[in-house]
Chain A
Amino acid sequence: MTKRIEDFTVTGNRFINKDIFLLELQAEGKLADLKPGQFVQVRVDGSPETFLRRPLSIHDADFERNTIKLLVQLAGKGTETLSRLQTGRKLNLIYPLGNSFTIPEQDEKILLIGGGCGVAPLLFLGKHLKSLGHSPEILLGFRNRERMIEYDEYMSIGPVSLATEDGSVGEKGFVTQHSLLAGKRFNRIYCCGPDRMMKAVAQYAFANGISCEVSLENLMACGFGACLCCVVDTVDGNQCTCIDGPVFNINKLKWQNSESA
Chain B
Amino acid sequence: MAELGISIGSLSFKNPVITASGTFGNGSEFDDFFDVSRLGGIVLKGTTLEPREGNSYPRMAETASGMLNSVGLQNKGIDYFEKNIYPRVSSYNTNVIVNVNGSYVEDYVALAERINKLDRIPAIELNISCPNVKTGGMAFGTNPETAREVIRKVRAVYSRVLIVKLSPNVTDITQFARISEEEGADSVSLINTLLGMAIDAAAMKPSLSTVTGGLSGPAVKPVALRMVWQAANAVKIPVIGMGGIRTVNDAIEFFLAGATAVQIGTASLIEPGTSVDILEGIGEYLDSKGFGSISEIIGYINRKQERTI
Contacts and interface: CB of A to CB of B under 8 A. Distances in A.
- Genuine A/B complex: yes
Contacts, number: 87
Interface in B1-48: 22-25, 29-30, 32-33, 45
A229 B59 contact: yes
Interface stretch (B107-115, B182-190, B267-275): B267-275
Contact of B32 (A4, A51, A222): A4
A53 B58 contact: no
Contacts of B62: 49, 51-52, 221
A231 interface: yes
A210 interface: no
A227 interface: yes
Given A4-B32, A225-B29, A48 B64 contact: yes
Interface stretch (A22-30, A122-130, A142-150, A232-240): A232-240
Given A5-B272, A220-B60, A228-B45, 20 more contacts: A3-B33, A5-B33, A43-B270, A52-B67, A221-B67, A221-B269, A224-B272, A225-B29, A226-B30, A227-B25, A227-B269, A228-B71, A229-B59, A229-B60, A229-B71, A230-B60, A231-B57, A231-B59, A232-B57, A238-B54
Interface of A: 2-5, 43, 48-49, 51-53, 94, 218-222, 224-233, 237-238
Contacts of B53: 237-238
Nearest to A229: B60
The 3 closest A-B pairs by CB, nearest first: A229-B60, A222-B269, A226-B25
16 contacts: A5-B273, A49-B62, A51-B64, A52-B62, A53-B270, A219-B60, A221-B62, A222-B270, A222-B272, A226-B29, A226-B268, A228-B22, A231-B54, A231-B59, A231-B74, A237-B53
Contact of B71 (A3, A220, A227): A227
A222 to B, nearest CB: 4
Nearest to A77: B62
B25 A238 contact: no
B20 to A, nearest CB: 11
B69 interface: yes
A54 to B, nearest CB: 10
A219 B62 CA distance: 9
B23 A227 contact: yes
Contacts of B65: 48, 51
Contacts of A222: 29, 268-270, 272
B54 A226 contact: no
A27 B29 CA distance: 23
Contacts of B218: 51
Interface-central residue, A221, A224, A233, by most chain B CB under 10 Å:
A221
Contacts of B273: 5
A218 B57 contact: yes
A230 to B, nearest CB: 7
Contacts of B66: 51
B96 to A, nearest CB: 16
Contacts of B135: none
B159 interface: no
Contacts of B33: 3, 5
A226 B270 contact: no
Interface-central residue, A4, A226, A238, by most chain B CB under 10 Å:
A226
Contacts of B272: 5, 94, 222, 224, 226
Given A231-B74, A233-B57, A238-B53, A226 B269 contact: yes
Nearest to B25: A226
A225 B74 contact: no
B56 interface: yes
Given A49-B64, A52-B270, A229 B69 contact: yes
Contacts of B269: 52, 221-222, 226-227
B270 A219 contact: no
Contact of A233 (B22, B32, B56, B67): B56
A76 B54 CA distance: 29
B217 interface: yes
B88 to A, nearest CB: 14
Contact of B217 (A4, A51, A53, A238): A51
Nearest to A231: B57
A225 B25 CA distance: 7
Contacts of B58: 218-219
B207 to A, nearest CB: 9
A227 B22 contact: yes
A229 B22 CA distance: 10
Contacts of A230: 57, 60
